[in-house]
Structure 1
Amino acid sequence: MNPGELREPVPPTIEVRLFQEPEDLARCFEALDVLHPGRLDPADFTATLTRMVREPGVRVAGIEEGPRVLACVVFRVAESLSYGRHVSIEEIATVQDARARGLGRILMDHVRDHGRAEGCASIHLNSGLGRAATRRFYHRYGMDISSFHFKMEI
């Protein structure tokens, strides 16, 4: 099996939708706040995400159930000397009560397929040090840890 290929069937009724309008982006707050509990202000979140989707190559995609966004991914097509043309996942999360339903895998498949269509050779993302379960998910998906991410406040 190739990296990133499905390991089990995905229910055909789950659809990934691209979000661009501020009212749709605002609905992603619940899912993405999982990554930043208590640190995001909903108004700032929507304004920031709206600015981000106006940048070239940035996309926000999600899985809805009624008016609620259960899972969301923010990603961009980029190019660098190190990685060539690639997809960079900025954020990906599923609300707590919708986990273990395969939604993360569906979003990863969406990003992978989008990247392939855009001529990308790889997917890159950062994962917080305290997110061991998340890293296990990425490993099961076929991703490897290939570098360290350094940070310094300025």
Structure 2
Amino acid sequence: MKTVELMSESEFIQAFPLMLQLCDHLSQQEYIQLLNEMRKEGYRLFALLDEENRMTALAGVFIHIDFFNGKYLWISELVTCQETRSNGIGKLLMKDIEDFAKKEKCKKVITYSGLSRDKAHHFWENHMGCERRGIVFKKEL
């Protein structure tokens, strides 16, 4: 298993079916359009590849800085392939993402998880050593 940063249009298209497992509302066209806009803002997409170079997990991240957190890595998306979930795949990818964050001199890794996502909360708290620190408020405009 190895983690790679996806850089090319063909790699992004190859990642779409896996991203669709997390964001099932997106068309491929919307995905590519948003991805191109997000990349202009610093978005980076990483994939964990298995021994046959198949993508088994994805992590989409931004590096941000603010007064409260200092420099930190924001995890926008984390998805593992449905067929390989609960086999340590997400944890392998997150170890490499944390190493990347340290290399970029980030002091924290932060993410958001919807209130209904109990399995995701279990992963973050019990496998990644994260603690719940607050609630995100959202208003549709």
Q: Could you say whether these structures have the same fold, taking a TM-score greater than 0.5 normalized by the shorter chain as the test?
A: yes
- Counterpart position of 1:76: 62
By how many angstroms is 1:67 displaced? 6.2
2:9 to 6, 15, 22: 22
> Which whole-Å deviations, capped at 9, do the CAs of 1:54-104 have from their partners, x for residues lacking one?
323x21100234464221000011101111100000000012112122210
* Over 3 Å off, 4+ runs: 65-68
Larger relative contact order, structure 1 or 2 (CA cutoff 8 Å, min sep 6): 1
Aligned partners of 1:30 and 1:95 also within 8 Å? no
- Counterpart position of 1:99: 85
Deviates more, 1:44-53 or 1:88-97: 44-53
Identity value in percent: 22
1:88 to 74, 96, 100: 74
**Structure 1 residues not aligned, in runs of 5+:** 1-13
Cα separation, 1, equivalents of 2:33 and 2:84 = 26
Aligned partners of 1:73 and 1:92 also within 8 Å? yes
Name the aligned partner's letter for residue 117 of structure 1. K
Cα separation, 2, equivalents of 1:121 and 1:144 = 15
Cα separation, 2, equivalents of 1:108 and 1:131 = 18
SS at match of 1:28: helix
Distance 1:116 1:67, change over 3 A: closer
RMSD of aligned alpha carbons: 1.4
TM-score, with length taken from structure 1:
0.84
- Counterpart position of 2:114: 128
Cα separation, 1, equivalents of 2:110 and 2:53 = 30
SS at match of 2:92: helix
Name the aligned partner's letter for residue 147 of structure 1. G
TM-score, with length taken from structure 2:
0.91
Aligned partners of 1:61 and 1:72 also within 8 Å? yes
Instruction: Kindly indicate which of the two structures has a greater share of residues assigned to helix.
Output: 2
2:48 to 35, 43, 63: 63
By how many angstroms is 1:151 displaced? 0.6
Name the aligned partner's letter for residue 44 of structure 1. E
Name the aligned partner's letter for residue 27 of structure 1. Q
Cα separation, 2, equivalents of 1:68 and 1:15 = 10
By how many angstroms is 1:50 displaced? 2.6
- Counterpart position of 1:11: none
Name the aligned partner's letter for residue 95 of structure 2. D
**Structure 2 residues not aligned, in runs of 5+:** none
